[in-house]
Structure 1
Amino acid sequence: MHCQPHDKNQVYIWLKNKQTCLLCDEPAEADIPLCTACETELPWLGDQCRTCALPLPAAGLTCGGCLKDPPAFEQVAVPWGYGFPVDSLITRFKHNAKWPFGHLLADVLGQFLHYRFDEGLPRPEALLPVPLADRRLRRRGFNQAQMLARWLGKRLELPCEEGTLRRILDTDAQQELNAKARRRNLRNAFALAPGAAVEGRHLALVDDVLTTGATAHALARLLRDAGAARVDVYCLARTPKPDPLQALRVA
């Protein structure tokens, strides 16, 4: 079953026309449908953990969670905190199939990553979307991470290797679980496709939101165990940790 929407003949003709902002309908000056005023008001992530991008009170720190139990991924690159209107745009894209909102967010994420590459963030060899279980894919009709990775790959001129990672267990929903329970829930949930070429490569996982990082850690551990040299994570938004005391235990 091919559930993913086709890139051709989609609803993105507006990318070639005079732009109006998708958020306020005012004219957009850039090549994406977002005006300068709305772009400025997005919940841009400030000081954050050097590894997992958890919001922190000062720059250049590592959060207590990453110090105590370092994740398998090297670094998270994410432009926004999970706040309005980004949270609403992600929800409408993910659960209501409002693909223009996802395309818009992927374009701005691509601009953000170009800036990060210019500032010294190592450029990966390929993008790997976080996979969905078959049952969830059938119910939703598409994998939002796969669509984001496709759009992002075009803007960054990087290959999107969609078949490398597989979700072989349909685990319980992660939303109501704490970090420890999430990691336990994802144990053995993923696998590499037969013949997947990852050894010695720098790869980047693509997803919509990073919460505890359990999914990213599980996939990065799988890739690192298979010989990947480095695994980064690219996502649209980062949620704050529920326990503020954890974020304050920094170095």
Structure 2
Amino acid sequence: MRAGHALLMQPQCPICRAAITSDTECSKPCLNCCMKLDLPADGLRGFSPLNWRALGWYEGHLRRLLLNLRRNRKLSAIHALAKLLTPLVPINAVLVPIPSWKSLSRTNPVPQLLASSLCRPCHGLLRRRHATVGQHHLDRQLRQRNQIHSFEAVPDLSNNATDWSFHQVWIVDDILTTGATALAARNCLQNLGITVGGAICLAKTPKQKSKYNPKTIRNG
């Protein structure tokens, strides 16, 4: 009985549920998960097509984890990733998660759950105006066209009491690919006179590697 109770009380990794030795570390991924995720110590930062910050590249173990989180909504894992991401979020940020156009049972819950876990003010200032086509097979140009006028302000929330002379909106999404969705959200908010600092995400899709192969070039 005591052994079973001790097992239940044993601190666990919030991602893989492996037993860990310290209660103080139970809000962070275990060493094994950290090695698999292979996250850069200072995260990732970029400026194209907008200012963005991310935990790591959307590949390998991190990619598989994020795809699973869309389905299983594992709060402990989202909170653990949010804790790692928080140092990258500006102190004056107001977080606005990307809303989904899908029904509640099929929606991607990660942006909202992530934004709520980042220890900054969070407002649902945006909603979808209409459904958009699934984007995983679209190139950059088609993604941008797909997102034109896809967002609008939520009534009564766009004029909240936030001091926009000090705060900046940071758009929150789980994955940043071409940035088409984040740009559409930014344009909507900027049309309301709201300053947008950039986008916060868990992962950024790496640039496609060039198909150029110097071995195929013959001399002369």
Matches within 5 A, 1:198-237: 200=165, 201-237=167-203
Q: Which amino acid aligns with 1:161?
A: H
Aligned residues: CA RMSD: 2.6
Q: Which has the larger radius of gyration?
A: 2
- 2:52 aligns to what? 76
| Match of residue 60 from structure 1 | none
Counterparts of 1:142-221 in structure 2, within 5 Å, are 143-152=109-118, 156=119, 158-162=120-124, 164-195=125-156, 196-197=158-159, 200=165, 201-221=167-187
Q: Specify whether residues 78 and 146 from structure 1 end up closer, same or farther in structure 2 by C-alpha distance, changes over 3 A only.
A: same
Unaligned runs of 5+ in 2: 1-8, 212-220
Q: Which has the higher strand share?
A: 2
Give the superposition deviation at 1:224.
Answer: 1.8
Aligned residue pairs, count: 194
Per-residue deviation at 1:240? 1.2
Residue in 2 aligned with 1:126?
94
Contact 2:28 2:83 in 1 (8 A): no
Quote the offset at 1:18 in angstroms: 4.9
Change (3 A) 1:179 1:86: same
Inter-partner Cα distance in structure 2 for 1:89 and 1:151: 17
Letter in 2 for 1:166: R
* Whole-angstrom CA distance in 2 between matches of 1:34 and 1:47: 15
Please give the alpha-carbon distance, in whole angstroms, between the structure 1 residues aligned to 2:114 and 2:43: 25
Unaligned 5+ segments in structure 1 are 1-16, 52-65, 246-251
Q: Is the 8 A contact 1:202 1:231 kept in 2?
A: yes
Q: Deviations over 1:145-178 (max 9, x none)?
A: 11111112xxx2x21112x111111011011101
TM-score by length of 1: 0.68
Whole-angstrom CA distance in 2 between matches of 1:33 and 1:44: 13
State the structure with bigger RCO (CA 8 A, min sep 6), 1 or 2: 1
On the 8 A contact 1:78/1:236 being kept in 2, the answer is: yes
Instruction: Tell me the TM-score normalized by structure 2.
Output: 0.76
